[in-house]
Amino acid sequence: MRRLFAVCQKELQAYLWTPTTYFALAVYMLLTGLLFYTNFVMYQPSILDYRLVLGDTLSMLVFVVPLLTMRLVAEEFRQGTDELLLTSPVSVTEIMIGKFLAALGMLLILVLCSLAYPVVMSFYGSLDWTLVFTSVIGLFMLGAAMMAIGLFASTLSQHQMMSAVVSFILLLVFWMLDSFGGQTGASAALQQWLEPFSLTARFDSFTKGLLNGADVMYYVTVAALFLLFSIQVVERKRWR
């Protein structure tokens, strides 16, 4: 456990010294801030509902997560430090979990930054804080699953931009699973079958103030599966 947290600490320090981290955070806050201003300040909705701006926050994760995860393993491969890391007393499982925990630390910062918007909205009226609370939990769980996908993509190449592109494509596919297919016949059946696996479809219950066990388990399962895939990819590289 101590070695796992040592890896996590090392990765968090790397985040703090990487310009890409600050670029990703700046892009996230700039774009979500602009969308918040457009949808809440300029539009001035008749009801005070955090869900009016939450969708914009979610969509930005598709672009920011690949930037935050692309270097986690790809940079080790590029610099050749993976050989030193993999021959150390730390197991591959501890390494990957430590890197994933560091990514969750960055995700927590994003989620905390997102709380600025409901706080601002609360100055203009009464918010449903139960809904805000469950939405924030859902946002973190959704982001955790996306971070695991990004970590997996980072194990597939030594080029960070290639890892970011693969991560973006994978996230986009999972994001839009409930949009595939049509409204009739076999296409409608396909869409109905794919919808439970969509990242966004599983988020709906959180925005209704509910903590659905099936949705929580879905995000935990996706994160665990892609973390396991990441471990297996690195293990294979270790024994080549």
Can you give the pLDDT at residue 184? 44
User: pTM value?
Assistant: 0.89
**pLDDT 10s digits, 128-156:** 888 889 999 999 999 999 999 999 999 98
Residue 44, Ramachandran bin (φ over 0: left; ψ between -120 and 50: alpha; else beta): left
**pLDDT 10s digits, 2-52:** 778 888 888 898 898 888 899 999 999 998 888 888 877 777 776 787 887
pLDDT band for position 80 (cuts 50, 70, 90)? low
In Å, the largest CA–CA distance within the chain is 62
Least confident of 57-61, 165-169, 223-227: 57-61
- Phi and psi at 3, nearest 5°, equal -70, -35
- Are 134 and 116 spatial neighbours (Cβ–Cβ below 8 Å)? no
SS (H, E, C) the chain: CHHHHHHHHHHHHHHHCCHHHHHHHHHHHHHHHHHHHHHHHHCCCCCCCCHHHHHHHHHHHHHHHHHHHCCCCHHHHHHCHHHHHHCCCCCHHHHHHHHHHHHHHHHHHHHHHHCHHHHHHHCCCCCCHHHHHHHHHHHHHHHHHHHHHHHHHHCCCCCHHHHHHHHHHHHHHHHCHHHCCCCCHHHHHHHHHHHHHCCCHHHCCHHHCCCCHHHHHHHHHHHHHHHHHHHHHHHHHHCC
